[in-house]
Structure 1
């Protein structure tokens, strides 16, 4: 007999900043979309661990634009998969 089902939610998230040349934009003036997304992902990880139980969260894809090694990311798109057990009624 099934006693629980893992429910899932999937989110498409977008972080926007301002692209710029990595060598010319000082750190204090950057609006780095990837840095913002990274901070957010760490918070998701921390909150999920604090909650404990059967709650899990996974960032499955991450795409940076424009996607060059010497360009500050101006946009990041990622997917978040959140799952937790639901008790059957």
Structure 2
């Protein structure tokens, strides 16, 4: 069973490989997706990491609030995306 983690307050220069390496220290990383602005293609400073359940708990405990690339990142379990009405 895997968990999806939200990772926020990332530096815009952070790469998916850097995130994969950091989280890989705590368990098996299934995927990493850093979110980019649709119009400009610039990083938005957050992303998602999917990893094994035990590793996800370890990563939250060890990385939340810690310095990563010069910024204190936020790491927690991702919430399901809410449906927004289409106008």
- The structure richer in strand per residue is 1
TM-score by length of 1: 0.38
- Return the structure number with greater relative CO, CA threshold 8 A, min gap 6: 1
